[in-house]
Amino acid sequence: MPALTVNGVDIPVTPDSSEDEPLVVGDRFNAFAGNLRLSETARVRKFSFVTNRMDPTQYATVYAALATFGPLACSGDALPASVTSCAITLQGGPFGNDGAEIDRVIRFQLEAVSP
């Protein structure tokens, strides 16, 4: 199984990708008696990815998949099994001339609502 697939496109991510602090939609406080009270509507897990260096053709395909607006179909070993839908925020990335062609790297953050 690929490490990450977005909208049917395999994304060549590097091993040093990471999971960030999740965003918890909810509330929590200590009650007057000291006990914890909390509500939680959703937990948004955030993953930071960096792609491998890609040639222009692959870059175009991957970029198009990642830049698609709206909820995206997401899966892969890098994500929890429960995650099937995600949103992508592109964060840019370096590119360079490695020989005859310009290779590029894309950094992006993937957010997925997870129970």
Site residues (vs another protein, CB under 8 A)? 24-27, 29-33, 35-42, 69-71, 115
Closest distance between another protein and the C-beta of residue 34, in Å?
A: 8
Residue 62 has phi, psi (to 5 degrees) of: -65, -40
Least Å from the CB of residue 10 to another protein: 24
Tell me whether residue 26 or residue 94 sits nearer to another protein (CB atom).
26
Q: Which residue's CB is nearer to another protein, number 71 or number 94?
A: 71
Shortest distance in whole angstroms from residue 39 CB to another protein: 4
With respect to another protein, which residue has the nearer C-beta, 40 or 98? 40
Residues 6+ apart with CB under 8 A from 14: 49, 50, 51, 52
Cα torsion angle, 46, 74, 67, 71, sign: negative
Q: Which is nearer to another protein, 26 or 56 (CB)?
A: 26
Taking the complex as a whole, the smallest distance from the CB of residue 26 to another protein amounts, in Å, to 7
Phi then psi for 14, rounded to 5 degrees?
-85, 160
In whole angstroms, give the CA distance from residue 51 to residue 49.
Answer: 7
* Residue count (the chain): 115
